[in-house]
Structure 1
Amino acid sequence: MRTPTVLALPYPAQGHVNPMMTFSQKLVHNGCKVIFVNTDFNHRRVVSSMEEQQDSSSLDGEESVLKLVSIPDGFGPDDDRNDVGMLCEAIQKTMPEALEKLIEEIHVKGENRINFIVADLCMAWALDVGNKLGIKGAVLCPASAAIFTLVYSIPMLIDDGIIDSDLGLTLTTKKRIRISPSMPEMDPEDFFWLNMGVNGKKLLKYLLHYAPSLHLTQWWLCNTTHELEPETLLFLPKIIPIGPLLKSNDNDDNKSAATKSMGQFWKEDQSCMSWLDEQADGSVLYVAFGSITLFDQNQFNELALGLDLTNRPFLWVIREDNKMAYPHQFQGHKGKIVNWAPQQKVLSHPAIACFLTHCGWNSTMEGLSSGVPLLCWPYFGDQLYNKAHICDELKVGLGIDKDQNGVVSRGELKTKVEQIFNDENIKFRCVVLKEKVMKNIAKGGTSYENFKNFVKEIKE
């Protein structure tokens, strides 16, 4: 079998770049070459975070088989890349043409002819580019199979009158719906585009425009497993579970920190690991809200003072772009605060008792793979649906409730932390689910075999 060269294209956000990078490293370990395409802006962030991580300039020889390249995203230097609506519009105008040009340049140089494209579900237009150039492809969904199914079902939901046909943000029904008789009910208010204001409409329009591109491939890969979403995978058997996508060999000391954290926008602070080593097993509350969540000063104060009130050791990730000041009453003496953490390593540390999370799917998968109970505080997008799935279907977490002013109070936080620390049923279900989920990526497991079949296909 030959060594194929795969072009990997994530949607330009940390929660999409991460799983695509893990997937790419798995391809490399299985004898493929990968050209990983970020936007120019994110490429600079990734490279600079890797340079900060590494002691030597070497990338363990991985750079010869995993090459990082970039194309423009169509934004100006000062545009807000967290503005999803504007980002989708800019991507649509700029990136298909830029990707085609990049592929042609690579082919002219004749180093590695690209044999296959793996595009993020939100970048399905790349399959059209591949089709035009005679290159086959696959889509990879970094979210749940339910969200994949929801995206796939948007045209049907419009036909059924559940989403109004001019793609406004009004719902024609308040009732919970089932996309199929076999799937769990969904609250239409949890549809990921509805809690994003005007951006939601632009995102929906963008996804709808590229929905037909999905039919250019039979490879619909998804970072999930049968145990987590059996009914959804039954309804849309075309979705191929290959999760959990986890960084491999965290204990492989031959790999530099830079290679292990490849794809991160921020430098990981490894000092939290030695701090965790000093804490008692099952004593620490891990608090991290992903790469986009923003709090106002009042909510930030309540969170900080709530952590004090729990009177338990906590590890709190506060990104560098946080503009909030700590409240003057905040003691924080039981905790450690870092800008960015090696999350998978943190969650698998024996000191961690529970994970206070925004319920992004990557965080959810990493939490479930470590058998850690989840305290759910979603921010936007698919996180609201994920919270419902974690608490109501899987029963491995608790939701955190907001008061009448839309604020999570320090008292509510303290109450829920106590509740989850003392809930033996949730802890037991987490351990059972962890075993089931992890079996999938062990030799002979469903995800393992699905991935092997995929690699075999692209090598042939």
Structure 2
Amino acid sequence: MALTAVPQHLVAVPYPGRGHINPMLAVCRLLAAADGELTVTVVVTEEWQALLASAGVAATLPAGRVRLATIPNVIPSEHGRGADPAGFFDAVHGKMGEAVEQLLDRMVLKRRPDAILADTYLTWGVAAGARRGIPVCSLWTMAATFFWALYHLDVWPPVDDRESEQELSCKSLEQHVPGCSSVRLSDIKIFRSWELPMKLTTMAFVNVRKAQCVLFTTFYELEPCAIDRITQAVPFPVYPVGPSISGMPLDGDAGNIHDKEHRAWLDAQPENSVLYVSFGSVVSMRPSQLEEIAMALRDSVVRFFWVARDSASAAGLRQIAGGNGLVVPWCDQLNVLCHRSVGGFLSHCGWNSVLEAVFAGVPLLALPAVWDQVVDACVVADEWRIGVNLSEQTRGVVGKDAIRAAAVKLMDPDDGESQEMRRRSAQLREACRGAVQAGGSSRRSLNGFVKDLAAGRLNCQ
């Protein structure tokens, strides 16, 4: 049954990267399910439309309810963006905003959208809506804990270059921003060395204060302290509607693995015996680090299922790691994590991967590379206590011996610490699935957002 008197039309504008587009689409599916008459137009580049079509994603969207609209390819190709990050950031900040505004103007001529749902990192998103009298809701696709830290960029302490990396790693942001014990001053030093990303992030967090609300892809039970602090501090409503996971059935249950080879191999393994290994879709792990991981897996004799995106390196990694696992170029990650044989996840700790691990109830070995991953790894290990942060002792390449020891310990069913991590992972899994069920915290939050939108409570002031 529809929750709105007049059907609402929402324009969703994700940041042009897989880690942002996938959760945006997941949120749009949830919104369409919450209101049977609401329609959503998701704005992507022509290249991203083709990528989503080839992956079969477009076919999974609610027909006639969530549709894609395109802008020209005004940003660098997804296939080569890693070669020039600065050029990519600049293009998103400048050229993409212009293209989206032109599309909005064409839409307004037919019917003014009732709201825009824009990724928080789109520095021009709030202003684009304000100029047209359209309320803008911000979508944050990372941990609420990281949002809270960035919301207080203005009180981050200066980094004393006279202090060593080890000294800075022993100090947290907590003394300056309560609730940020998982953000270390050594992290801040690294963040500040990335001048352009920090400049654009600062702009984004100035602009987010002018949004009508913020939706989070987390769920309340996962980050209650961060959500509570944000709710009390910001001048707008907050809606945690997660876990917003690509491909997650709306009833919270996992699906089947469609690839026959993957399913057959996993079905043949004992319960909780396989370490799933994957490092995301964008940031590339250093070849030297991949070699250390491969040697660690070989020496550990732990069964593994490794997703290596680069087919050229996959053969070499397979040769180094030995025959105790499967190396593949791609898989249906959520369903693989939910398979009974998977008992651990060696991950870069991107937020979407973390949410999928929580949904599956699988503990993590964290090997973060950049940005929010560093904070996520600390939260996983220190706050939730469902994993081990392998990068805690070094910012460089983590050696094979440390990885081997951690993998053996995590996958040992008789190890006391491993058992405790599995117990806590199972608790979060149940909280995660409960949040999206009828009456759950995320379902209530989602319904609240739809009602507030329809009632005009999110309109521009």
TM range (shorter): 0.7 to 0.9
3-state SS of the aligned residue for 1:418? Answer: helix
Of all paired residues, the percent bearing the same amino acid is 27
* 1-structure distance, mates of 2:351, 2:88: 21
Q: After superposition, where does 1:245-284 map in structure 2 within 5 Å?
A: 245-246=244-245, 247-249=247-249, 271-284=261-274
* 2-structure distance, mates of 1:183, 1:296: 29
The residue aligned with 2:89 is 88
Deviates more, 1:400-409 or 1:284-293: 400-409
1:64 to 1:353, Cα distance in 2 relative to 1, 3 A: same
Shift of the alpha carbon at 1:144? 0.6
Shift of the alpha carbon at 1:147? 1.3
The residue aligned with 1:264 is none
Shift of the alpha carbon at 1:454? 0.6
The residue aligned with 2:206 is 212
Shift of the alpha carbon at 1:43? 2.6
Confirm or deny: 8 A CA contact 1:182 1:234 kept in the other structure: no
Confirm or deny: 8 A CA contact 1:221 1:242 kept in the other structure: yes
The residue aligned with 1:3 is 7
Q: After superposition, where does 1:85-164 map in structure 2 within 5 Å?
A: 85-108=86-109, 110=110, 113-157=112-156, 161-162=157-158
* 1-structure distance, mates of 2:451, 2:54: 34
3-state SS of the aligned residue for 2:173? Answer: coil
1:227 to 1:28, Cα distance in 2 relative to 1, 3 A: closer
The residue aligned with 1:224 is 218
TM-score scaled by structure 2?
0.83
Q: Count matched residues.
A: 429
3-state SS of the aligned residue for 1:34? Answer: strand
Confirm or deny: 8 A CA contact 2:53 2:59 kept in the other structure: no
1:372 maps onto 2:369 in alignment: no
Confirm or deny: 8 A CA contact 1:297 1:325 kept in the other structure: no
1:37 maps onto 2:43 in alignment: yes
The residue aligned with 1:410 is 400
The residue aligned with 1:265 is none
Letter in 2 for 1:208: T
Q: After superposition, where does 1:379-398 map in structure 2 within 5 Å?
A: 379-398=369-388
3-state SS of the aligned residue for 1:88? Answer: helix
Shift of the alpha carbon at 1:353? 0.5
Out of 435, 446, 450, which is 1:455 matched to?
450
3-state SS of the aligned residue for 1:208? Answer: helix
The residue aligned with 2:424 is 429
Give 5+ residue unaligned stretches, structure 1.
165-169, 262-267
* 2-structure distance, mates of 1:403, 1:92: 35
1:308 maps onto 2:303 in alignment: no
Shift of the alpha carbon at 1:407? 2.5
3-state SS of the aligned residue for 1:244? Answer: coil
1:180 maps onto 2:177 in alignment: yes
The residue aligned with 2:16 is 12
Give 5+ residue unaligned stretches, structure 2.
413-417, 456-461
Shift of the alpha carbon at 1:76? 5.1
Letter in 1 for 2:448: N
Deviates more, 1:375-384 or 1:230-239: 230-239
RMSD: 3.2
Deviates more, 1:84-93 or 1:448-457: 84-93
Letter in 1 for 2:338: S
Shift of the alpha carbon at 1:324? 6.6
1:285 maps onto 2:279 in alignment: no
1:129 to 1:250, Cα distance in 2 relative to 1, 3 A: closer
1:211 to 1:277, Cα distance in 2 relative to 1, 3 A: same
* 1-structure distance, mates of 2:338, 2:355: 12
Shift of the alpha carbon at 1:361? 0.8
Deviates more, 1:120-129 or 1:71-80: 71-80
1:454 to 1:76, Cα distance in 2 relative to 1, 3 A: closer
* 2-structure distance, mates of 1:227, 1:362: 17
1:338 to 1:324, Cα distance in 2 relative to 1, 3 A: closer
Deviation by residue 1:25-78 (Cα, 9 ceiling, x = unmatched): 11222322111112333333222222xx8xxxx937834222112224633569
Confirm or deny: 8 A CA contact 1:401 1:412 kept in the other structure: no
Letter in 1 for 2:8: P
1:358 to 1:196, Cα distance in 2 relative to 1, 3 A: farther
The residue aligned with 2:415 is none
1:24 to 1:77, Cα distance in 2 relative to 1, 3 A: closer
* 1-structure distance, mates of 2:77, 2:359: 38
1:163 to 1:215, Cα distance in 2 relative to 1, 3 A: farther
Shift of the alpha carbon at 1:235? 2.0
